[in-house]
């Protein structure tokens, strides 16, 4: 690999700071990731030298902006092995992508009595759009159960997905349990029953090589900011024939072919879905993020994170009174690790870790049905990325032990 | 810095209230019933009041929350029990000023709750401390004092409402 993982931290200036007088250990990557200099410089360069609107105007800056914007789309198509750049729609993020599918494909294809199948571990963004669609259409929303270790119960998946099922939508990687769901297998089951398969790639695309054609998903949504890119840009991949048949969700400039007083026609893919001026700088920034990730290699990133999990998960499991959610087997667990210290609310734990310079998330992680399923009000969550290392893992473990000690003995 | 600064947040009296909360449970004769949630951390607080002759005759809370929100609720119930609606509302204002304001306030009326001043140094935890007081304010402000469900938003903490 061209870049050594051990020198990567220096590409992220934000990580070189003290928080509460302690060197920052950033472990909230499932929420959002930090940006390398290359991404911030790409934004700078675009705004300082090329800023212009895209797909219109004949002047040089407009041409440059359009060329870079569309080049970013191609990079992203290649990144997830989409057949072409017309399969890549720019969105605001995963949430918007999933909402678009529900609002357009769902609106046209789900009818009374039909089924939509999701799982108990879905993020609200892959749950509420389907729940609302089901309510509106009088369709049935069904949930696939989980095994005791937090992995998806595939025997139950085969029960839940039936000939009445129109849409199956599942997270590729859980944002709480850290498990990888067998999307390819689920897609095969969905297709056997004539349903489409939607993959929520928010927590997978940043951390592993994703091949949408191999997975055979019909749609796949992910967010730029969770993979080193800027906030406000995301991607919805769709199969060509489905996108071509699908009606646009928003109307306006950029997406029209010809407008008459009483009717209009749409541009071809992908532009018919992108009404209005898009997030040009966001797309270019995401393109730079993809370049950066490619330089390191997604397989290397996945291995690096697996090494950290192999190291830290047994250490966390060994802490008495620390409950760790998801599989205990590190090979089944990605770098998203949720946990609770017995007798202490995760919010209190997160504050203590913050005092030690360790940034983790505490809360329901936009997965309230999952919290209910686990019978906890909330959890703390550490999530690792390519710039984290074993020292960061040690800092997490030490901070949890210090917090445990602090709250055991009280203070003052 | 490490955890020593946490001593300002988790004073012993706070830990005691959280571990053994006062007025925890439900009331049979409740005249007000309110549920307030803190959506960012999943805390949920049910607050019940029994008002008689414009006074808080009894009060109880239940729900799920962190040390700070549980202790704050316990301290709040101690402080406002037996007070008039106007007195209790004034205490909400004094508490709010103590936690998010910049004016000097006389905190005697808040009793144990005055110790929560330390939360001021932990901006992420202000909402935890405010939850019970917000719930009280909403319960006192609503016309029929019944069955309201609300959510606490980040921008709420600095407002009177």
Judge whether B76 lies within some domain: yes
- Give me chain A's average pLDDT, please: 95
Considering the entire predicted model, what is its pTM?
0.89
Note the pLDDT of residue B153. 47
Question: What letter would DSSP give residue A248?
Answer: P
- Give the CA dihedral A411, A412, B2, B8, nearest 10 degrees: 110
CB pairs under 8 A between A and B: 71
Provide DSSP, A161-194.
--TTEEEEEEESB-TTT-PBP-HHHHHHHHHHTT
H or E element: which one contains A84? Answer: none
Residues of A in contact with B44 (CB under 8 A): 377
Length of chain B: 161
CB A113: neighbour CB atoms within 10 A? 10
Residue of chain A whose alpha carbon sits nearest to that of B44: A377
Per residue of chain B (161 residues), give pLDDT as tens. Answer: 678 888 888 899 999 999 999 999 999 999 999 999 887 777 899 999 999 999 999 999 999 899 999 999 999 999 999 999 999 999 999 999 999 888 888 899 999 999 999 999 898 899 999 999 999 999 998 655 444 456 554 434 333 33
Judge whether B160 lies within some domain: no
Print the domain residue range for B69.
2-152
Judge whether B161 lies within some domain: no
Note the pLDDT of residue B147. 43
CA distance A29 to A223: 12
A25, A346, A348: best mutation site toward chain B, by most B Cβ within 10 Å? A348
Question: What letter would DSSP give residue A30?
Answer: T
Note the pLDDT of residue B144. 52
**DSSP helix/strand/coil, A71:** helix
A363, A374, A411: best mutation site toward chain B, by most B Cβ within 10 Å? A411
Note the pLDDT of residue A331. 95
Would you please indicate which residues of A are annotated as catalytic (active-site) residues? Answer: 366
**Residue A256: band (very low, low, confident or very high) from pLDDT cuts 50, 70, 90:** confident
CB-CB under 8 Å, B2 with A22? yes
CB-CB under 8 Å, A351 with B9? yes
Residue of chain B whose alpha carbon sits nearest to that of A355: B2
Among the partner residues B12, B15, B128, nearest to A347 by beta-carbon distance: B128
- Complex-level ipTM: 0.74
Summarised one tens digit per residue, pLDDT across range B145-161 is 444 456 554 434 333 33
Handedness of CA B1, B4, B5, B6 (dihedral sign): positive
A107 touches chain B (CB under 8 A): no
Note the pLDDT of residue A408. 82
**Residue A291: band (very low, low, confident or very high) from pLDDT cuts 50, 70, 90:** very high
Distances, alpha carbon A292 to alpha carbons A11, A96, A340, in Å: 10, 25, 34
Structure token pair of residue A129: 């759009």
Residues of B in contact with A403 (CB under 8 A): 3
**DSSP helix/strand/coil, A390:** helix
Per DSSP bridges, beta strands A88-91 and A234-238 are antiparallel
Domains of chain A: 5-30+297-407 (3.90.1150.10), 41-294 (3.40.640.10)
Note the pLDDT of residue B152. 57
Among the partner residues B2, B7, B42, nearest to A377 by beta-carbon distance: B42
Judge whether B112 lies within some domain: yes
Q: Say which residue, B103 or A45, is predicted with more confidence.
A: A45
Judge whether B121 lies within some domain: yes
Distance spanning both ends of chain B, measured CA to CA: 35
Residue of chain A whose alpha carbon sits nearest to that of B2: A356
| Residue B18, Cβ density class (10 Å: 0-12 exposed, 13-18 middle, ≥19 buried) | buried
Q: Is a pLDDT exceeding 80 seen at residue A172?
A: yes
Judge whether B157 lies within some domain: no
Judge whether B7 lies within some domain: yes
B123 touches chain A (CB under 8 A): no
Distance spanning both ends of chain A, measured CA to CA: 52
Note the pLDDT of residue B2. 78
Summarised one tens digit per residue, pLDDT across range A184-229 is 999 999 999 999 999 999 999 999 999 999 999 999 999 999 999 9
CA distance A63 to A65: 6
Summarised one tens digit per residue, pLDDT across range A124-159 is 999 999 999 999 999 999 999 999 999 999 999 999
Note the pLDDT of residue B149. 52
Number of domains in chain B: 1
Give the mean model confidence (pLDDT) for residues A312-336: 96
Judge whether B158 lies within some domain: no
CB-CB under 8 Å, B10 with A411? yes
Note the pLDDT of residue B158. 36
Give the mean model confidence (pLDDT) for residues A65-87: 97
Q: In what order do the strands lie in the sheet with B43-52?
A: B55-64, B43-52, B32-38, B148-151
CB-CB under 8 Å, B66 with A22? no
Among the partner residues B3, B12, B66, nearest to A406 by beta-carbon distance: B3
B14, B40, B67: best mutation site toward chain A, by most A Cβ within 10 Å? B67
A356 touches chain B (CB under 8 A): yes
A363 touches chain B (CB under 8 A): yes
Question: What letter would DSSP give residue A21?
Answer: T
In terms of Cα–Cα distance, which of B100, B98, B45, B40 is closest to B69? Answer: B45
CA distance A137 to B103: 54
The CATH number given to whatever domain includes residue B81 is: 3.90.1010.10
């Amino acid at each position: 690999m061209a870049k050594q993982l051990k020198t990567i931290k220096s590409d992220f200036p934000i990580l070189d700071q003290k928080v509460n007088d302690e060197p920052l250990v950033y472990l909230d990557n499932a929420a959002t990731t930090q940006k390398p200099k290359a991404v911030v410089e790409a934004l700078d360069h675009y705004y300082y030298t090329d800023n212009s609107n895209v797909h219109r105007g004949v002047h040089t800056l407009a041409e440059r902006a359009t060329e870079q914007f569309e080049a970013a789309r191609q990079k992203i198509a290649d990144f997830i092995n989409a057949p072409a750049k017309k399969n890549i729609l720019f969105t605001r993020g995963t949430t918007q992508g999933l909402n678009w599918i529900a609002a357009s494909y769902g609106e046209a294809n789900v009818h009374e009595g039909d089924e939509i199948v999701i799982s108990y571990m879905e993020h609200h963004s892959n749950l509420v759009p389907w729940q609302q669609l089901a309510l509106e259409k009088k369709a049935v929303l069904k949930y696939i159960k989980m095994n005791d270790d937090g992995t998806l119960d595939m025997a139950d998946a085969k029960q839940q997905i039936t000939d009445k099922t129109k849409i199956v939508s599942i997270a590729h990687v859980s944002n709480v349990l850290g498990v990888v769901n067998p999307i390819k297998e689920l897609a095969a089951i969905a297709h056997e029953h004539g349903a489409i398969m939607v993959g929520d790639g928010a927590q997978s695309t940043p951390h592993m090589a994703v091949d949408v054609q191999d997975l055979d998903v019909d749609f796949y949504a992910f967010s730029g900011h969770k993979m080193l890119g800027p906030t406000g840009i995301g991607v919805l991949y769709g199969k060509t024939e489905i996108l071509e048949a699908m009606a646009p969700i928003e109307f306006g400039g950029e997406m029209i072919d010809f407008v008459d007083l009483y009717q209009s026609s749409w541009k071809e893919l992908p532009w018919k879905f992108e009404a209005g001026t898009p997030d040009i700088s966001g797309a270019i920034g995401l393109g730079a993020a993809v370049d950066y990730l490619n330089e390191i290699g997604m397989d290397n990133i996945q291995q690096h994170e697996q090494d950290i999990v192999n190291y830290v998960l047994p250490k966390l499991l060994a802490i008495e009174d620390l409950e760790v959610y998801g599989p205990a087997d590190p090979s089944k667990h990605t770098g998203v690790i949720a946990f609770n210290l017995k007798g202490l609310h995760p919010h209190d734990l997160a504050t203590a870790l913050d005092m030690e310079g360790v940034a983790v998330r505490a809360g329901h992680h936009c997965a309230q049905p999952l919290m209910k399923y686990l019978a906890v009000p909330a959890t703390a969550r550490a999530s690792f990325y390519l710039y984290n290392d074993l020292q960061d893992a040690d800092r997490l473990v030490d901070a949890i032990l210090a917090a445990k000690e602090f709250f055991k003995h009280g203070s003052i | 810095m490490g955890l020593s600064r946490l001593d300002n947040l988790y004073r012993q009296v706070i830990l005691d209230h959280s571990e053994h909360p006062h007025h925890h449970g439900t009331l049979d004769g409740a005249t007000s019933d309110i549920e307030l949630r803190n959506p960012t951390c999943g805390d949920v607080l049910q607050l019940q009041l029994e008002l008689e002759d414009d006074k808080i005759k009894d009060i109880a809370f239940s729900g799920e929350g962190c040390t700070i929100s549980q202790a704050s609720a316990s301290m709040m119930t101690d402080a406002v029990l037996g007070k008039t609606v106007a007195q209790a509302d004034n205490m909400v204002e004094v508490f709010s000023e103590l936690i998010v304001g910049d004016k000097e306030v006389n905190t005697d009326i808040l009793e144990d709750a005055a110790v929560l001043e330390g939360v001021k140094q932990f901006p992420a935890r202000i909402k935890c401390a405010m939850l019970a007081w917000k719930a009280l304010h909403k319960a006192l402000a609503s016309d029929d004092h019944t069955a309201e469900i609300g959510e606490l938003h980040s921008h709420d903490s600095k407002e009177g409402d």
